[in-house]
Amino acid sequence: MKPRQGKPRLLQAMLDAFSLPDLRRRILFTIGVLVVFRFIAHIPLPGVDPDALAELFQRNAMLGMLDMFSGGAMRYFSMAAMGVYPYITASIVMQLMVPVIPRLRALAQEGEGGRNQINRITHWLTVPMAGMAAYGQLVLLRREGVLASTEALPTVAMVISMIAGTLFLVWLGELITQHGIGNGISIIIFGGIVAGMWEMVGQGRLVATTNLGGLVFYLALALLTAAIIVIFTEAHRRIPVQYSRSVFRGGRMYRQSGQTHIPLRVNTAGMIPLIFAMSMVIFPGVVASYFVNPVEPNFANTIMELFNPSAALPMGLFYWGLYFMMVVAFAFFYTMVIFQQQNLPEALQRQGGFIPGIRPGPHTAGYLNGVIKRITWAGAFFLAGVAIMPFLGREITNVQQLQLSSMGLLIVVGVVLDTMKQLEAQLVMRRYEGFIK
């Protein structure tokens, strides 16, 4: 069924989707789960001083950025304050451990059953990681005077509640994956980021009264960054592959051949290098914050100033320059880890495929490694450029109230593209024309 003339292609595709009962049910289910997520995000834990918590977020820019990813749950210190990030961390750890531990490597090669087992281990690993993150947040809030209680029982109750909140959000995400549209975990993160952007709209109105030109340039920079993210997210290098196999039919041997391609993405690592790099650059500042002396500045004060993302020039160049270089390094590291796990040369040889002009085996492996390294330079510098975009936007426009989150933009754009593709696939299966050419 082709869309009727006179309506935008995207709008018509959404109307076509809602005209199908099963697809409409999937979309409404996804929206309903997001409503439950937002309800959970506003259930606060007891014993928190809201005034002291608001003051802490005003003077700590890093907490404000992390709060945006939780959709305001951290600002209210609710049971969903950690979001699904302990699960994301556990997933990254498992991806890095699979090629190192023989038992996990064997499970990864056992097909669907092995992947289910690895997924189960990831869920179990999420529990201690969520517990450590929850306890760390409680220690930070106590040190800042936000939490008054130091007794063991209330602390254990809050830690267990925060672990339960994370696991509940992971479960909601898996429900979206099974019964809704899109990747559930990504949709949950997307919902938190979009919900946190409403506060930025209010701040933008205040900025418009004093620095309208800077605000316009800031928004133009955000739109340009989003467009670049779309280009590099979809960019890939096509490697031609030919298949040749023999088929025995009717007492005779026939040779069949075909041609396809392997799409090697320019940004294979996604946003993982940004997470790794940010974790590394904020760690010294977090450690130094425990030894800061507000009366007589010491070495810890200098370290905290160096690793402060809100520091002005020239001190801010150290933090953002180090962030830039670490994103490039981690982009290469994670890309090569993922590429080695895929083991494309062996898979091609096992399926009877070969790259024209390249011998199978080591020669194919060397050729593919060379290609992935060359295109990763573009992906690495793209990620590093997006990473320092908040710093550039702040210094060029002199807009201090708004925070342009590079990871937030990457997640939002990536989730929208992935959801659009899945919706397109659902429409194509039902002979409806979608909105992606």
Please give the average per-residue pLDDT across 29-44, as a whole number.
87
pLDDT grade, residue 167 (50/70/90)?
Answer: very high
- Residues 188 and 309 reside in one and the same domain: no
To the nearest whole number, what is the mean pLDDT of the chain? 77
pLDDT per residue over 42-66, tens digit each? 888 877 777 777 777 766 656 666 6
Please give the average per-residue pLDDT across 381-406, as a whole number.
74
Quick one: which H or E segment has residue 259?
strand 252-265
pLDDT of residue 69: 60
Please give the average per-residue pLDDT across 125-141, as a whole number.
85
Q: What is the CATH number of the domain that holds 219?
A: 1.10.3370.10
Longest dimension (CA), the chain: 92
pLDDT per residue over 347-390, tens digit each? 777 777 778 888 887 888 888 888 898 999 998 998 888 888 87
- Residues 377 and 237 reside in one and the same domain: yes
150 pLDDT above the threshold of 90: no
pLDDT of residue 127: 92
- Residues 170 and 239 reside in one and the same domain: no
Q: Please check whether residue 115 lies inside any domain of the structure.
A: yes
- Residues 325 and 386 reside in one and the same domain: yes
Question: What letters, b where the CB count within 10 A reaches 16 and e where it falls short, cover 403-425?
Answer: bbbbbbbbbbbbbeebbbeebbe
Q: Please check whether residue 202 lies inside any domain of the structure.
A: no
How many structural domains is the chain composed of? 2
pLDDT of residue 168: 92
- Residues 307 and 232 reside in one and the same domain: yes
- Residues 33 and 155 reside in one and the same domain: yes
- Residues 71 and 218 reside in one and the same domain: no
pLDDT of residue 22: 82
Q: Please check whether residue 338 lies inside any domain of the structure.
A: yes
pLDDT of residue 200: 65
- Residues 257 and 393 reside in one and the same domain: yes
- Residues 244 and 370 reside in one and the same domain: yes
> What is the C-alpha separation between 161 and 63, in angstroms, rounded?
20
pLDDT of residue 175: 92
Q: Please check whether residue 205 lies inside any domain of the structure.
A: no
pLDDT per residue over 244-297, tens digit each? 665 555 555 555 566 778 888 888 888 778 877 877 787 777 677 667 666 676
Residues 6+ apart with CB under 8 A from 93: 125
Q: Please check whether residue 206 lies inside any domain of the structure.
A: no
pLDDT of residue 180: 86
124 pLDDT above the threshold of 90: yes
Q: Please check whether residue 415 lies inside any domain of the structure.
A: yes
Q: Which domain holds residue 384?
A: 212-398
Q: Give the distance from CA 317 to its chain's centroid.
A: 25
Out of 115-124, 217-226, 305-314, give the one with best mean pLDDT.
115-124
> What is the C-alpha separation between 223 and 272, in angstroms, rounded?
22
Out of 12-21, 215-224, 330-339, give the one with best mean pLDDT.
330-339
**Three-state SS annotation for 342-382:** HCHHHHHHHCCEECCCCCCCHHHHHHHHHHHHHHHHHHHHH
- Residues 23 and 103 reside in one and the same domain: yes
pLDDT of residue 1: 40
pLDDT of residue 403: 60
Residues above pLDDT 90, as percent of the chain: 6
Q: Please check whether residue 403 lies inside any domain of the structure.
A: no
432 pLDDT above the threshold of 60: no
- Residues 339 and 420 reside in one and the same domain: no
pTM here?
Answer: 0.77
pLDDT of residue 52: 76
Out of 83-87, 174-178, 234-238, 363-367, give the one with best mean pLDDT.
174-178
Q: Contact, 309 vs 359, CB < 8 A?
A: no
> What is the C-alpha separation between 259 and 303, in angstroms, rounded?
57
